[in-house]
């Protein structure tokens, strides 16, 4: 069912609803339900004895939000009239009429959900078109795993994801952090298709005085960057340092609405594992804030899938492939997510 006041074209919403998207960190789950929004659909998330529950944030009696209720004896209680829903989603009690039969329609409208990589994933369709994107380093014991807080941006998930894949903005948006404006040249790189998206790799030298580099104490090194994009919005970046150190960023843009996005960032590294995370958190916050400043100002807010609507250069090979990939899953000409 399409949400009321949906900000997406119907066909695009139907397409995106058939993919897995993160809606919360597992560490967010507690003994209280809470509300999240995915594709304009308001959802309630909580943990029960049978596992996590993700459902439409709605009591079918009088439309009250279940996220405003509470958990009692492993059941969620509606805050308006006290209706209770069990772990199987069925209503178990109507306090005003405790002995009356309970209509079968009084059930939670649950959606598919899974816990993976420390995230709660949801799919609004009953038949996902592809599996949850892969994050192979998460199960590798040689890597340290951590995450920072989710970010809410006033831009489309398509623009956000394409920005993460863009390799030519470092010298301008992140000057002095990821690159120098004296070193803006992007070397040639090729893009290859994968089962559920595409990948590409390139190497470059640039000064990075803030982040620790196991390959060069002075911050100047040759870094390999390996990107894997899983449609529609999951991007995995493995940065390989000269001496073999690897920093992995799993960046997933979850479309709250057509023009608002929640970004989940998962990390893994096989070096500096005893170092406090505060320095890296500060660096990542600066980088993402610099990106947000630009991406919230891009026009149109939509990501133009028709390649004739914007001008492209050789460094844009990845973003060109990304737009083709979104078109390939059936999204519209000016996709607004």
176: CATH: 3.90.380.10
Backbone angles phi, psi at 199, to 5 degrees: -145, 165
Q: Are residues 271 and 172 in the same domain?
A: yes
Both tokens of 190, joined, read: 């090729």
> Looking at the predicted structure, is the pLDDT value of residue 207 above 50?
no
Q: Are residues 188 and 77 in the same domain?
A: no
Q: Are residues 140 and 111 in the same domain?
A: no
Q: Are residues 90 and 147 in the same domain?
A: no
Q: Which domain-ending residue is among 70, 102, 123?
A: 123
Q: Band the pLDDT of 218: cuts 50, 70, 90.
A: low
pLDDT at 27: 95
Crossing angle of helices 278-295 and 157-165, in 10° steps, is 120
pLDDT at 216: 54
Q: Are residues 158 and 271 in the same domain?
A: yes
d(CA 255, CA 124): 13
> pLDDT tens digits, residue range 106-162?
999 999 999 999 999 999 999 999 999 999 999 999 999 999 999 999 999 999 999
Please state, for a pLDDT cut of 70, what percent of the chain lies above it: 94
Q: Are residues 148 and 273 in the same domain?
A: yes
Domain tally for the chain?
2
Please state, for a pLDDT cut of 90, what percent of the chain lies above it: 74
CB half-sphere exposure, 185, CA atoms < 13 A: 4
Q: Are residues 150 and 80 in the same domain?
A: no
Q: Which domain-ending residue is among 69, 97, 123?
A: 123
> pLDDT tens digits, residue range 85-99?
998 899 999 999 999
Answer whether residue 293 is part of any domain.
Answer: yes
d(CA 98, CA 88): 19
Answer whether residue 130 is part of any domain.
Answer: no
User: Taking residues 312-321, what's their average pLDDT?
Assistant: 95
> Looking at the predicted structure, is the pLDDT value of residue 49 above 80?
yes
Q: Are residues 158 and 307 in the same domain?
A: yes
In contact, 167 and 184? CB cutoff 8 Å: no
> pLDDT tens digits, residue range 124-133?
999 999 999 9
pLDDT at 186: 84
pLDDT at 210: 42
Q: Are residues 191 and 266 in the same domain?
A: yes
> pLDDT tens digits, residue range 276-297?
999 889 989 999 999 999 999 9
168 vs 256: which has the higher pLDDT: 256
Answer whether residue 48 is part of any domain.
Answer: yes
Q: Are residues 173 and 63 in the same domain?
A: no
d(CA 111, CA 89): 11
Answer whether residue 128 is part of any domain.
Answer: no
Answer whether residue 211 is part of any domain.
Answer: yes
The CATH number of the domain where 90 resides is what?
Answer: 2.102.10.10
> Looking at the predicted structure, is the pLDDT value of residue 337 above 50?
no
* Lowest mean pLDDT, pick from 86-95, 220-229, 235-244, 251-260: 220-229
pLDDT at 215: 54
Task: Print the domain residue range for 148.
Answer: 136-335
Q: Are residues 89 and 148 in the same domain?
A: no
Q: Are residues 188 and 256 in the same domain?
A: yes
Answer whether residue 4 is part of any domain.
Answer: no
Q: Which domain-ending residue is among 96, 123, 150?
A: 123
pLDDT at 313: 93
pLDDT at 213: 54
Answer whether residue 5 is part of any domain.
Answer: no
Answer whether residue 43 is part of any domain.
Answer: yes
Average pLDDT over the chain reads 91
335 vs 183: which has the higher pLDDT: 183
Residues 6+ away with beta carbon under 8 Å from 235: 161, 164, 165, 227, 228, 229, 250, 251, 252
């Amino acid at each position: 069912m399409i949400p009321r006041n949906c900000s997406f074209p119907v066909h695009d919403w139907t397409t995106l609803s058939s993919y897995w998207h993160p809606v919360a960190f597992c560490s967010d789950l507690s003994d209280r339900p809470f509300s999240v929004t995915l594709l304009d659909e308001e959802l309630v998330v909580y943990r029960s004895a049978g596992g996590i529950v993700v459902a439409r944030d709605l009591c079918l009696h009088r439309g009250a939000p279940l996220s405003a209720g509470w958990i009692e004896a492993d059941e969620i209680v509606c805050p308006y009239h006290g209706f209770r829903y069990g772990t199987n989603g069925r209503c178990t009690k109507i306090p005003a009429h405790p002995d009356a039969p309970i209509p079968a329609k009084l059930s939670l409208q649950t959606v598919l959900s899974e816990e993976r990589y420390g995230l709660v994933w949801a799919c609004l369709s009953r038949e996902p078109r592809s599996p949850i994107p892969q994050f192979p380093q998460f199960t590798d014991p040689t890597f340290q795993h951590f995450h920072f807080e989710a970010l809410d941006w006033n831009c489309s998930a398509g623009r956000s994801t394409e920005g993460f894949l863009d390799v030519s903005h470092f010298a301008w948006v992140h000057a002095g952090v990821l690159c120098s404006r004296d070193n803006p040249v992007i070397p040639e790189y090729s893009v290859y298709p994968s089962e559920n998206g595409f990948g590409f790799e390139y190497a470059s030298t640039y000064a990075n005085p803030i982040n620790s580099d196991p390959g060069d104490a002075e911050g100047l090194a040759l870094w390999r960057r390996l990107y894997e994009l899983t449609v529609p919005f999951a991007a995995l970046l493995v940065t390989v340092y000269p001496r073999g150190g690897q920093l992995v960023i799993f960046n997933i843009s979850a479309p709250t609405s057509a023009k608002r996005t929640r970004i989940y960032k998962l990390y893994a590294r096989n070096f500096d594992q005893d170092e406090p995370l505060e320095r890296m958190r500060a660096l990542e916050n600066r980088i993402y804030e610099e990106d947000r400043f630009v991406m919230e100002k891009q026009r149109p807010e939509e990501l133009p899938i028709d390649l004739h609507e914007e001008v492209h250069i050789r460094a844009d090979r990845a973003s060109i492939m990304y737009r083709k990939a979104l078109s390939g899953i059936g999204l519209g000409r000016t996709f607004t997510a």
